[in-house]
């Protein structure tokens, strides 16, 4: 995940491009996920973060104004959600109300920073099976999206193994939108996943975070991305206008650099 300020990027190092593929990492373990097992059933989604010793983790360092960010997405890339459960410090259980709209296999990511860990930010994940009539969707490459009356256009190419600049332009009724509001301490949050294994794509945001009373921005948000391999990537952008958070989806294919560029570099 990345945001509209460089210091808010949610990943760990320039070489760490395959986050979120394991239920354990850096001495921490994501518990089993307790959630409704079929579609249309209201319940709660619950889990714990454990140390390797089995002790629940209850102290965290805030990132983007939250102790933990939960990302949920079906393995075909659809039904993306970025939410923030609440913590019961007496048990270490994170929970929030939950209902599944569609059946399938879902990947659930917990993104957090332990208060006493030198490792910094940690991303753990598990899959959950949801019973019901499953109709998978197929992705097609697209650099535009329309959501909530807004039109979003993404410019830039993903190049495997090399930094790439991606810029999202936001308009409404043909006019540039300059009323982007801070959301979780930034003007935009970008989550990118590699199709096939849903590994996190390593992304850095460009520019500064909202500060000194700055209340709006736009119409563009720029990110710097590193795609670890060729292939297809799913990008989800959260942005806020007039107090409402919207999520736009893009699909990009990463390619190798042309041989002439490699020689020149």
Compute the chain's Rg from CA coordinates: 19
Length of the chain: 265
Can you tell me whether residue 259 is helix, strand or coil? Answer: helix
Q: What is the pLDDT of residues 169-201, one digit of tens each?
A: 999 999 999 999 988 888 888 999 999 999 977
Q: Which of 130, 148, 178 is the last residue of a domain?
A: 130
What is the strand order of the sheet 122-130 is part of? Answer: 81-83, 68-74, 104-112, 122-130
Peptide bond just before 219 cis, omega within 30 deg: yes
* Residue 199 near residue 147 (C-beta atoms within 8 A): no
Tell whether 211 and 252 lie within a shared domain. yes
Q: Which domain holds residue 174?
A: 139-264
Does any domain span residue 95? yes
Helix, strand, coil percentages (3-state) for the chain, rounded to 5, are: 5, 50, 45
Residue 202: phi and psi, rounded to 5, are -75, 120
Question: Longest Cα pair distance anywhere in the chain, in angstroms?
Answer: 59
Q: Does residue 10 have a pLDDT over 50?
A: no
Q: Does the predicted model carry a pTM greater than 0.85?
A: yes
Structure confidence by residue, pLDDT tens digits, 32-46: 999 999 999 999 999
State the CATH number of the domain containing residue 108.
2.60.40.10
Task: Indicate whether 112 and 147 sit together in one domain.
Answer: no
3-state secondary structure of 233: strand
- Predicted confidence (pLDDT) at residue 151 exceeds the cutoff of 70: yes
Number of domains comprising the chain = 2
- The pLDDT assigned to 215 comes to 82
């Amino acid at each position: 995940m990345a945001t509209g300020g460089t210091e808010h990027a949610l990943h760990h190092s320039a070489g760490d491009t395959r986050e979120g593929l394991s239920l354990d990492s850096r001495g921490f373990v994501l518990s089993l996920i307790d959630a409704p097992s079929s579609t249309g059933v209201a319940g709660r989604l619950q889990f714990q973060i454990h140390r390797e010793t089995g002790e629940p983790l209850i102290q965290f360092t805030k990132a983007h104004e939250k102790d933990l960010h939960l990302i949920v997405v079906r393995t075909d890339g659809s039904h993306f959600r970025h939410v923030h459960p609440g913590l019961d410090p007496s048990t270490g259980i994170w929970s929030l109300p939950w209902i599944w709209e569609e059946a399938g296999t879902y990947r659930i990511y917990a993104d957090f920073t332990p208060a006493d860990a030198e490792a910094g930010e940690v991303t753990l994940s598990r899959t959950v099976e949801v019973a019901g009539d499953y109709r998978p969707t197929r992705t097609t490459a697209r650099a535009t999206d329309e959501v909530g009356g807004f039109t979003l256009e993404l410019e830039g190419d993903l190049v495997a193994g090399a930094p790439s600049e991606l810029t999202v332009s936001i308009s409404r009724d043909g006019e540039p939108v300059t009323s982007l509001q801070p959301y979780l301490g930034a003007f935009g949050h970008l989550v990118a996943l590699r199709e096939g294994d849903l590994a996190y794509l390593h992304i850095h945001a460009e520019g500064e975070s909202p500060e000194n009373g700055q209340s709006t921005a736009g119409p563009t948000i720029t990110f710097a991305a590193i795609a670890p391999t060729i292939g297809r990537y799913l990008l989800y952008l959260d942005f806020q206008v007039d107090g409402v958070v919207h999520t736009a989806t893009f699909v990009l294919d990463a390619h190798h650099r042309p041989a002439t560029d490699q020689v020149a570099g």
